Structure 1
């Protein structure tokens, strides 16, 4: 069967798979591996592959696969070295001056700037990031790209995983070149003076972003509301201007893929242009007979796709869609089939070679999974049609023929939606812990004809007519179509949206992906091996869901704590941040949190000024100890800006300390203390102390008490401990001592290692 697959030329289809697996393996390692041993092994495997190239079977496949796998690892290391992004080590408030490289407005009229940092002051950051993403919440006249702005800012490192096994946002920020995120206090100031000199490539890129911003603004002015923001997102990939309500409705209804410039948008735009040019040229028989009309149309479609990509902001999904479309259109020049798995594999290989880190993102995985499944399904249907020629329809009637044509179109959308949603289900479950229900099928069935026949054609014609000022009618028609799509999304979202699945086993994604690829890429009966692999992945998923939930969750900054008990989940925050709690809720399938009981705020000084920081009296310390010892079970009791406490059903007391002066009292009264601002890392009482310095190194924590009061029987699962990679190394930097230190307090280290405290 292997020889049969080789005879069909399917070996090339697995080249990007093996290269991508090598890159994914390198990114998943907890420590940076040495480059030289892998390079020597790569050369050795390459030489062996060259020697055995004329052999058959596994003798040729194994060295080639090993060389490709090691090549993928080296590509990943090369990209990491090429980026070398400096990530901010800890949150800080400072004066920042820098140059605006990009800007984008959101639904509330607030501007977000990507700023190249020039200098910082008060305090000066010792390891300043090169680029930061800053939100200006105050209303102001926006700064143009290339202008220098300054202001007081609060910046923080990109967020790590909200729980072990979840998405590490610092990874994607590192490869995007963004070292910190934050916001301006007040209005950013424009600095006078000439613009700093830049390389021609930077000037060209800046001009493209200015053009992109101008086009997006023009569309939003022509088509007001969410429909205009939706239209601007489809054309320029500026998505922040779409309201949260519409974004959530699109997500719940399974239509969010329309917003991004992905393969669908690029294929529709290029396909409409290709068919349009070819149709127009066919009206001139002499020209059509003398010149290759199909290739001319393909060249025009390629130019159009290139222009579309240049104003898209160079997003990941747009880059991938453009490469795939370019490969397919170039295939027309050489009289090769445009729609084939080989072209999909070539596109994937190009993207992995340029940006290996993209293989770990849901966008890459879901896009290529859907594309490969659709192409394989098309090939299967085409081969079946050749073997079983359908009998011609005997009935020719003006009514019957359009009905049959409409049915074929609807059946095509239905089949496409089913194949696309099924092929991306495993990646949706892995990354978003949810799976689309029947609503997504209904929404796509209703919305895709509008997108295909109204929105994209009107948008394409409108953009071609922008230089002549004749675009308004077509853009408004595009807006009407998108209003209908938004209405469909809201209606379907009201049905209940998608179903929660929860966090998956670490082996779920690699095993299920292997099974999916075998079923999709192979042609012989060897592909049936994918079925038991998919079944094994489902068993891994069931095993993960059968595990007991942890007892305590701690966010990476220590400001939010959750206790999971029989009564539900209790938190120390009246309004838990949705960014964190939303991830907890989806990963562990939690319900709405039980709010804490908050005591009345302490009396303020008569003059209204904040109380000066002073040493606590012995009476205040004793009062704090007493209050912590008396906290109830099942829900938090909080004193604002001081501490919160809760007791588990087993009697273990947990204290969350905001005012570091009370950390010592909490050590005396509680068993677990989370104190982000505490200066010490262990309690004399033997209680477990987790301070901010430890949390920076461990990331978010899951603590399992196993129903025991004995600390030696507890276990802690960290999100980041033991990881020392370029995108996580900032967590170990001690700015006071100007050095990297990864050591954890001994008690915490033993609980993480499962050795007991």
Structure 2
């Protein structure tokens, strides 16, 4: 009779089972000790699913990611033995799959027609937003297209954004107005080079189908509603009280409008690490809430009856909540402002319930709300910078030794003041360290003195400029605001002086070449691991962070950067600069090529380095040849056709050929040919000669909707053979 007993495990398998069991028991003990922290990883896993959708190329990979997450979750439940580890992995996998599905659904939900190619059109539409940009003498108008005049673009975008010269703006142009104008429109631009800003992705989620420049005359068919523009009226009032960039900064603090800030001052604020003061966010909402709570609580305390009820904090918090909501509406209700308002309301709710106000759970809930409502915000630097700063501050101040150091004690005011200064300095340094990888990844620059500048700038803005401006606005109702406007102006003048001084300091900004996405992901993962756990195993977060930092530092900057249209080329020189092919590229092209190549940061008035000025270059009006890193580069630099008999031999001798035109079939370089046909399917290109590494903006078979919309529209009417070639990956 056969035995029904299960066979005994082999001698080779049993030690493995024991090791796995011990590892699982150790993990269970760790998770039991960290059970209060597990909730914090929900927004991390949701963000991981969103990031996976953004990084993976097409629906097959998105579906595979969801299925793989589901399989991992089921395996964790089956093999977890009912412990905390299995449940935690299963919940994390389910939330990750939810993140993929959420951003996929959101991208389909906001789908709108996108213009196929540049066109000059006449359109009648209703203005939904009117944003003055006084520093650039422009007005930016967002329109919902109502009627197109022939020729009608195919497809015709429903929502467009155009810039108008301030002198061409007619009376009556305000939100809600119906206008008619001619404009040169273009599809939302993809990144010009690898690592650059992806405006096409941002425009897709904003439902902008085209952007461009409008021409005079602009006819107002139906004026807008005057009542709807309280924000614009307040902005104009503030700008009339203070001249120049001071008025622009004051308006930015109150309404979020930065159009009146001069570009040199805005650049100085960016270089000094103070640009966060120019967008209404957590700092500004916190200052408003604190000021309103202080004033209302003091006024309510004057009534003995109200004070004895013990409801003063609740009533003051309610008033502060209304002030936060009103300030958010006044500042334009942008995503960063809404995010900060939600966090402030949650803090006020915690105070009302008698709970600890600022905790990591509060940050996690805020992140979950934002990602659930706007999952695309994860890819933007605003979300990453703000939540990284808040997470670093809260994690630091939840650290037991620092809490003990900052706890109240009976001591004289000099020691108390010194303790507060040390706290500000340590907090500034920690926040700067948390933000530096994000700034380097998105902006290719790392500020070195930002922590020191913020030590003065943040208290100055919070305790001097904003209260003086608020009081001045209140007193303007009776015509007595001038003295306080003077105080606010002096505070802003000191803020600008700090920004200019720090920005001009040697080594204030370090240039960083485009960082590999994998290195950035490792640094973010390591930082989150270190910030969210509380026991000693948090130290393991230093390992992926160090690997990611070493990877980023070891990645050499590209030697050659080519824009997607082939018109502009940057070649990195031995002294760290990036030499441009054309001198008519403008500041935008110069900055884009310089940032992508990790160019040495120079002053705004520095003349661009031209390829034709390099001693090793051989250039005429039509062509430029130069040897760099053991490779010879040939580039066309004019719109005139070079005879094939002259061009083909030059192509065959060059390792890399770059042209904005379609080159003859016989004009092929020995290694890499980047002409119009190739660049249409690759986008901008960055090449590193020493390693042979080629990075392109476009990926083969990329089916994200902002890519598909332009490609499908652009392929209409073209031969089928060309459509197939346009998707063929570069060899």
> Common fold, TM-score beyond 0.5?
yes
1:235 partner SS = helix
1:308 positional shift: 0.5
Quick check: 1:113 aligned with 2:97? no
8 A contact 2:248–2:260 mirrored in 1: yes
Conserved 8 A contact 1:572-1:644: no
SS in 2 for 1:145: coil
Equivalent pair of 2:441/2:515 in contact (CA under 8 Å): yes
d(CA) in 2 for partners of 1:312 and 1:251? 21
Partner residue, 2:610: 595
Superposed, which structure 2 residues align to 1:462-473 within 5 Å? 462-464=472-474, 471-473=481-483
Question: Of residues 71, 82, 87 in structure 2, which corresponds to 1:60?
Answer: 87
| Mapped pair 1:558 → 2:561 | no
1:130 Cα deviation after fit: 2.0
Q: Does 1:286 align with 2:327?
A: no
Equivalent residue number for residue 505 of structure 1:
516
Aligned position for 1:436: 447
- CA change 1:280–1:590 in 2 (3 A) is same
Call closer, same or farther: CA 1:662–1:452 in 2, change over 3 Å.
same
Unaligned runs of 5+ in 1: 196-202, 394-400, 599-631, 708-713
1:397 maps to none
Query: Residues 648, 219 of structure 1: CA spacing in aligned structure 2 closer, same or farther, 3 A cutoff?
Result: same
Q: Structure 2 CA distance, aligned partners of 1:740 and 1:474?
A: 68
Q: Would you say how many aligned residue pairs link Structure 1 and Structure 2? A: 685
Please give the per-residue CA displacement for 1:94-131, whole angstroms capped at 9, x wherever unaligned.
22322211112221332111122223335321112222
Secondary structure of 1:385's counterpart equals: helix
The range that moved more, 376-385 or 261-270, is 376-385
Alignment match of 2:593 (pick from 580, 584, 599): 584
Q: Which shows bigger deviation, 408-417 or 363-372?
A: 408-417
Give the direction of change, closer, same or farther, for the CA distance of 1:409–1:565 in structure 2 (3 Å limit).
closer
CA contact (8 A) 1:114 1:133 kept: yes
CA distance in 2, matches of 1:211, 1:49: 55
Counterpart in the other structure of 2:19: none
1:603 equivalent in structure 2 = none
1:668 aligns with 2:677: no
1:195-214 counterparts in 2 under 5 A?
Answer: 210-214=229-233
Task: Name the residue aligned to 1:525.
Answer: 536
Q: For the structure 1 residues 29 and 152, does the alpha-carbon distance in structure 2 shift closer, same or farther, using more than 3 Å as the test?
A: same
TM superposition shift of 1:22 = 0.5
- Equivalent position to 1:659, from 625, 633, 639: 639
Match of 2:253 in 1: 234
Provide the residue aligned with 1:737 in structure 2: 716
Alignment match of 1:192 (pick from 203, 207, 221): 221
Residue by residue, what CA displacement relative to the aligned partner does 1:401-430 show, whole Å, maximum 9, x if unpaired? 453444344333323322221221221121
Matches within 5 A, 1:651-730: 652=632, 654-656=634-636, 658-659=638-639, 661-662=641-642, 664=644, 667-671=647-651, 674-676=658-660, 678=662, 683-686=665-668, 690-703=674-687, 716-722=694-700, 723-730=702-709
Residue 299 of structure 2 corresponds to residue 321 of structure 1: no
2:581 to 572, 578, 590: 572
Q: Secondary structure at the match of 1:728?
A: helix
Relative to structure 1, is the Cα distance of residues 268 and 743 closer, same or farther in structure 2, using a 3 angstrom cutoff?
Answer: farther
Tell me how far 1:317 sits from its aligned partner.
1.6
Instruction: Give yes or no for contact 1:657–1:674 (8 Å, CA) kept in 2.
Output: no
Secondary structure of the 2:525 match is helix
Separation in 2, partners of 1:183, 1:103: 14
Partners in 2 of 1:740 and 1:704 — Cα distance?
35
Equivalent position to 1:453, from 458, 463, 469: 463
The alignment status of 1:635 with 2:617, answered yes or no, reads: yes
Change (3 A) 1:735 1:453: closer
Q: Which sits farther off after the overlay, 230-239 or 533-542?
A: 533-542
Contact 1:733 1:740 survives alignment (8 Å): no
Do residues 644 (structure 1) and 623 (structure 2) align? yes
Shift of 1:16: 0.4
Provide the C-alpha distance between the structure 2 equivalents of 1:461 and 1:48, rounded to a whole number of angstroms: 61
In structure 2, how many angstroms separate the alpha carbons of the residues matched to 1:120 and 1:657? Answer: 37
Partner of 2:129: 102
Alignment of 1:529-548 (within 5 A): 529-545=540-556
1:407 aligns with 2:422: no
Q: Which moved more, 1:312-321 or 1:243-252?
A: 312-321
Structure 1 residues 28 and 44: alpha-carbon distance in aligned structure 2, compared to 1, 3 A threshold: closer
Residue 11 of structure 1: SS of its match in structure 2? helix
Question: 2: distance between equivalents of 1:221 and 1:229?
Answer: 10
- Of 303-312 and 469-478, the range deviating more from structure 2: 469-478
Whole-Å Cα distance in 2 between the matches of residues 740 and 378 of structure 1? 63
The residue that corresponds to 2:236 in the other structure is: 217
Q: Does residue 25 of the first structure (1) align with residue 36 of the second (2)? A: no
- 1:477-524, Cα deviation, whole Å (9 max, x unpaired): 323321221111112212132222322122111111111111111111
For each residue in 1:244-268, what CA deviation from the matched residue of structure 2 results, as whole angstroms up to 9, or x when unmatched?
Answer: 0110111111111111111111111
Checking the alignment, whether the CA contact within 8 Å between 1:503 and 1:588 is kept in structure 2 is: yes
Secondary structure at the aligned position of 1:72 is classed as helix
Q: Is the Cα–Cα contact under 8 Å of residues 45 and 96 in structure 2 kept in the other structure? A: yes
Q: What secondary structure, in the 3-state scheme, does the structure 2 residue paired with 1:191 have?
A: strand
Among 101, 105, 109, the alignment partner of 1:78 is 105
**Greater Cα shift, 132-141 or 341-350:** 132-141
Offset at 1:291?
A: 4.1
Q: Which runs of 5+ in 2 are unaligned?
A: 1-26, 601-606
**Contact in 2 for aligned 1:165/1:506 (Cα 8 Å):** no
Quick one: which of 148, 151, 157 aligns to 2:178?
148
Task: Judge which range, 527-536 or 557-566, deviates more.
Answer: 557-566
Does the 8 Å contact 2:282/2:340 carry over to 1? Answer: yes
* Cα gap change, 1:42 to 1:675, in 2 (>3 Å): closer
Partner of 2:24: none
In structure 2, what is the equivalent of residue 272 of structure 1? 291
Taking a change above 3 Å as real, the CA distance of residues 651 and 267 of structure 1, as seen in their structure-2 partners, is closer
8 Å contact from structure 1 (residues 660, 675) kept in 2: no
Q: Higher mean Cα deviation, 658-667 or 368-377?
A: 658-667
Describe the SS at the equivalent of 1:103.
strand
SS of the aligned residue for 1:178 comes to coil
| SS at 1:502 equivalent | coil
Structure 2 CA distance for aligned equivalents of residues 572 and 41 of structure 1: 47
Structure 1 residues 68 and 517, CA gap change in structure 2 (3 angstroms): same
Note the C-alpha offset of 1:572: 2.3
Q: Are 1:660 and 1:677, in contact at CA under 8 Å, matched by a contact in 2?
A: no
> Could you say what secondary structure the match of 2:261 adopts?
coil
**Counterparts of 2:137 and 2:147 in 1: how far apart (Å)?**
28
**Cα 1:74–1:476, aligned 2, differ >3 Å: closer, same or farther?**
farther
CA distance in 1, matches of 2:148, 2:657: 35
CA 240–11 in structure 1, closer or farther in 2 if over 3 Å, else same:
same
Work out the CA distance in 1 between the residues paired with 2:617 and 2:697. 25
Per the alignment, do residues 596 and 389 of structure 1 end up closer, same or farther by CA in structure 2, a change over 3 Å counting?
closer
